[in-house]
Amino acid sequence: MVYHLSRLHRFSKLWGFMKNFLVICLVCLLCLTASIFPVNAVPLPSKAQGINVKAFGAKGDGRTDDTKAIQQALDAASKNKGTGTERNNLVYLPNGTYLISATLSWPSKRIIVSGQTREKTVIKLKDNSPGFSSSNKPLPAITTFEGESTGQAFSNAIYDLTVDIGSGNQGAIGIRFLNNNQGGLRNVAIKSSDRDRRGSVGLALTRAWPGPAMIRDLQISGFDYGIEVQQPEYSLVFEDIALTNQRVAGIKNTANILSIRGLTSKNSVPVIQNVNSDTGMIVVLNGDFKGGSSSFTAIENRGGTLYARNIKTSGYKSAIKNGCKVIRGNNVTEYISGKVYSLFPTPKRSLQLAVEEVPVIPQDDFKDWVSVTDYGANGEDDKDDTAAIQKAMDAGTTVYFPNGKYFISDTIRVRGKVRRITGLHSTFKVNPPLQNQDKPVFRFEEGERNAIILERFWGDYGGGAFHWIEHASSKTLILRNIYMGSGAVYRNTGSGKLFIEDVTGYGNLVFNKQKVWARQLNVEAAATQITNNGGSLWILGLKTEDEGTVVETTNGGKTEILGGLVYPATRKIPDDRPAFINDESKLSVIIRTSYYQGGRYQTVVREKRKGATKKLMYTDIPRIGEINIIPLYAGYE
């Protein structure tokens, strides 16, 4: 018996050794596989065609200096051209801590940097990095679009990561960001690891000219300023922003246009400062400001225009100081710092339309994602991809386009069980015959899902008679992170709700008896840009160009616009063309106009009520150089 137990003991030890050896081999195999196939790391599917920083040698281990590797990935993205045109380029960082010791710089536009998760993908500046010690000469850890002329920084974006400036870097800026028309930050954290909260600025929007941009789900901890904005153009939208432990102020704005909704602050210093300019405009809704000091007011409007609504504060002297006047009260129902314009008897307040939050579409497991390339789409040459895309749409719940360029010549019908279509920032090119037809590229029909999202694509230039979107369903549609360079943007023949987030279009949008909520909408068209026919339209941050009427509201519709910029950028607008038309309907507008090239709307608002028509003229509004500001226009019974 003793002999057999001893033999069993030796066998047990041998098996334990073999088991450990096999585990080590398996781990090595997995590591080797990860290094060979770095693009396969979640959250990108295996065929996503993103540029993975690990393919350039980045380790993400918290010890290795990854500056050179990440910069090489960004440089590669800037040189990556699609067939016949440059394309968007997706740079991906799997979970890990990536140490850097110098500024990461984007050399061109249309670069999207995405982490795997905000909590576990961290770009961290080494402690006491040379060049980042001087508060008088602050340097950014990350800076975007340094290589080309401004005003053309289209579609730059950062998603799902954390930037940590470490400690001993009191002259550091977390992110100095620039994009135009479409793009921004989403689900990003910026922090300082210093105990005394040192650091210059968390998010700097200071280079000429920031925006339009959508900054959403942003957390900033530390720094002198959480967010600093400069320059008079082109408007910025913020939603769900959390600020903590700033040393001077949470947000500082000089001259630009900010539309903010859902701002929380835990600070003793002022939460918002609108400073040093008569042209700065801030709209802020739904603020919760805690931890204030009785030495400060929560919002300091030192110059420019302020519209505030649904603001709660604690600890501060008051909620608002306008100029030298402290406005009594720690909570704000609605406050307007300037004149309220109207043409007929109207309440002196905004419409305050009910706001619905954007529905959350659950993420499918990646094994259930369907790639259009699995059905024959190419994404690399000029082959027509229409039939392959349609097959993919009819096959999956999540349909994706590996980053590339796709050619479409007929309408894609979206139906069945699909609930998410993600372009992964691919380019879509519309070819004949569809290009010359009054038909949609995507037609959303009745399906099995209550809501569906179309996101992250670039619609290429080239002109045409087509529409990008026809909403022919009773189900909810979400459009997010989309740039449409030609063709009309949207029309509905169904009754479903519409949510818009960070969308640019070079054609009109028509809403027929529909409920619409838009955040960061940029429209540029020579014809009427937005038509609200008998529906409810709420816009947080609107920017427009070209000579068309901006919004026409008819048939008892309701339109509320909360901040933004009307920027015709043309030398001539017909004298009889209003910027806004309110035809037997309800309208409230907070907006700024800039007329640098001479063309201006002589009629700012034309309103018809009970058969009588009146006009608010350009000359009725005080002029600041080439700028007009409407703190609020109210036109409704």
Quote the pTM value.
Answer: 0.92
Torsion-angle region of 276 (φ positive above 0: left; ψ -120 to 50: alpha; else: beta):
left
| pLDDT tens-place string over residues 73-102 | 999 988 765 444 556 789 999 999 999 999
CB within 8 Å of 546: residues ≥ 6 apart: 524, 525, 526, 529, 568, 569, 570
Give me 267's structure tokens. 């600070």
Please report, rounded to a whole number, the percentage of residues in the chain having pLDDT higher than 70. Answer: 92
Q: Which of 150, 172, 198 finishes a domain?
A: 198
- Taking alpha carbons only, the member of 285, 273, 293, 204 closest to residue 241 is 285
Cα–Cα separations (whole angstroms), residue 245 to 110, 287, 429, 581, 629: 33, 17, 47, 45, 33
- Taking alpha carbons only, the member of 470, 504, 468 closest to residue 488 is 468
| pLDDT tens-place string over residues 506-515 | 999 999 999 9
The pLDDT value recorded for residue 385 is 97
Q: Which of 198, 219, 247 finishes a domain?
A: 198
CB within 8 Å of 81: residues ≥ 6 apart: 87
Q: Over 50: is that where the pLDDT of 27 sits?
A: no
Q: Over 80: is that where the pLDDT of 18 sits?
A: no
Cα–Cα separations (whole angstroms), residue 588 to 50, 203, 551, 581: 43, 31, 11, 11
Q: Which of 168, 198, 228 finishes a domain?
A: 198
| pLDDT tens-place string over residues 146-172 | 765 678 889 999 999 999 999 999 999
The pLDDT value recorded for residue 80 is 62
Does residue 238 fall inside a structural domain? no
Backbone angles phi, psi at 39, to 5 degrees: -70, -15
Q: Over 70: is that where the pLDDT of 305 sits?
A: yes
Q: Which residue has the tokens 């440089």?
A: 75
Q: What is the mean pLDDT of residues 58-70?
A: 98
Does residue 359 fall inside a structural domain? no
Does residue 311 fall inside a structural domain? no
What is the distance between the alpha carbons of residues 385 and 428, in angstroms, rounded to a whole number?
10
Q: What is the band of 6 on the pLDDT scale with cuts at 50, 70, 90?
A: very low
Does residue 40 fall inside a structural domain? yes
Question: What is the dihedral angle through the alpha carbons of 458, 179, 522, 605, rounded to the nearest 10 degrees?
Answer: -170
Backbone angles phi, psi at 508, to 5 degrees: -85, 160
The pLDDT value recorded for residue 13 is 43
| pLDDT tens-place string over residues 262-302 | 999 999 999 999 997 899 999 999 999 999 999 999 999 99
Cis preceding-peptide flag for 468 (omega within 30 of 0): no
Q: Over 90: is that where the pLDDT of 347 sits?
A: yes
Does residue 324 fall inside a structural domain? no
Question: What is the dihedral angle through the alpha carbons of 158, 259, 519, 186, rounded to the nearest 10 degrees?
Answer: 20
Question: What is the dihedral angle through the alpha carbons of 145, 157, 517, 274, rounded to the nearest 10 degrees?
Answer: -50
Q: Which of 70-74, 273-277, 319-323, 453-457 has the lowest mean pLDDT?
A: 273-277
Which residues constitute the domain of residue 410? 371-630
Domains held by the chain: number = 2
DSSP string covering 157-184: EEEEEEEE--SS-TTEEEEE---BSS-E
What is the distance between the alpha carbons of residues 595 and 22, in angstroms, rounded to a whole number?
72
Q: Over 90: is that where the pLDDT of 190 sits?
A: yes
What is the distance between the alpha carbons of residues 163 and 185, in angstroms, rounded to a whole number?
12
Backbone angles phi, psi at 105, to 5 degrees: -125, 135
Rounded (5°) CA angle 74-79-84: 140
Q: Are 554 and 530 in contact, with CB atoms under 8 Å apart?
A: no
Does residue 339 fall inside a structural domain? no
Q: Over 80: is that where the pLDDT of 2 sits?
A: no
CB within 8 Å of 426: residues ≥ 6 apart: 87, 88, 379, 401, 402, 403, 404, 405, 406, 456, 457, 458
Torsion-angle region of 598 (φ positive above 0: left; ψ -120 to 50: alpha; else: beta):
left
Give me 534's structure tokens. 């008998």
The pLDDT value recorded for residue 304 is 92
Q: Over 60: is that where the pLDDT of 42 sits?
A: no
- Taking alpha carbons only, the member of 90, 83, 13, 86 closest to residue 51 is 90
Does residue 186 fall inside a structural domain? yes
Does residue 66 fall inside a structural domain? yes
Q: Are 295 and 272 in contact, with CB atoms under 8 Å apart?
A: no
DSSP string covering 572-614: ---TT--SEEEESSEEEEEEEEE-TTS---SEEEEEEETTEEE
- Taking alpha carbons only, the member of 193, 224, 227, 192 closest to residue 211 is 227
The pLDDT value recorded for residue 28 is 40
**What CATH number does residue 183 fall under?**
2.160.20.10
Q: Are 521 and 499 in contact, with CB atoms under 8 Å apart?
A: no
Q: Over 70: is that where the pLDDT of 239 sits?
A: yes
Tell me whether strands 558-566 and 586-594 are parallel, antiparallel or unpaired: parallel
Dihedral over Cα of 429, 434, 440, 443: its sign: negative
Average pLDDT, the chain: 91
| pLDDT tens-place string over residues 489-512 | 999 999 999 999 999 999 999 999
The pLDDT value recorded for residue 48 is 84
What is the distance between the alpha carbons of residues 369 and 392, in angstroms, rounded to a whole number?
10
What is the distance between the alpha carbons of residues 130 and 445, in angstroms, rounded to a whole number?
57
Q: Using CB atoms within 10 A of its CB, is residue 294 exposed (0-12), middle (13-18) or buried (19+)?
A: exposed
Q: What is the band of 565 on the pLDDT scale with cuts at 50, 70, 90?
A: very high
